[in-house]
Amino acid sequence: MAAVTSYFELHEFLASDTAKERGIDNTPTFTVVAHLDELRRTILDPMREAWGGPIKVTSGYRSVLLNAAVHGVSNSAHLTGYAADIRPTDKRRTAKFILWAVGWLEDNGIKYDQAIDEQVGGERWLHIAVRDNRGRQRQQNLVITG
C-alpha cells in the first residue's frame, strides 16, 4: 500500500495464525492489494480517525486455501481483499465500537457492501466489506451469531 498517511499497514491484512501454523501461502496479488487499499482508504482510515483509538484487524485477505481452513463462505469478500474483520485493540470496547461504527457508516454516507456484527465462540468482531466479489456496494447491515 502506497500509504501517504495510514493507520494500517499491508501486513496487518495478510497475517494469519492459521496460515502460519499450517504453512498456507497467503501472498496477495496486485489486484488484491489494490482492493485492500480501497478498503483502507475509503473506510478503515477515516473510521479509525473518527473512533480515535487503535483498531485490530483480526482477519483481512484470505487465499482460497486459508479461507477454506477457517471455514469462510465460498464467496467471501475476504478472498478478493475487499473485506476485513476488525475490533478495538481493547476487546472490552468491542460492543460499543460495533454499535458506533454502524452509525458512523450511515451518518457519513460511507459506501460499503456489508457490515456484519459477528459473534462466534465467545469472539466478536465487525466484518466490513467495501464491495462484494461483483463490485457491488449494497449497504447491508447484518448480525450473525453462532
100, 51 Cβ separation under 8 angstroms: yes
Q: Return the number of the residue (5 or 123) whose C-beta is nearest Zn ion.
A: 123
Comparing C-alpha atoms, which of 39, 61, 48 is closest to residue 112?
Answer: 39
* DSSP state at residue 27: P
Residue 127: CB minimum distance to Zn ion, A? 3
Q: Cell triple for residue 55?
A: 483498531
Per-residue contact flags (x/-) with Zn ion for residues 118 to 137, judged by CB under 5 A: ---------x----------
85 scored as a contact of Zn ion (CB under 5 A): yes
Using CB atoms, what's the residue nearest to Zn ion?
127
By CB under 5 A, how many residues form the interface with Zn ion? 2
* DSSP state at residue 21: H
Give me the residues that bind Zn ion (CB under 5 A), please.
85, 127
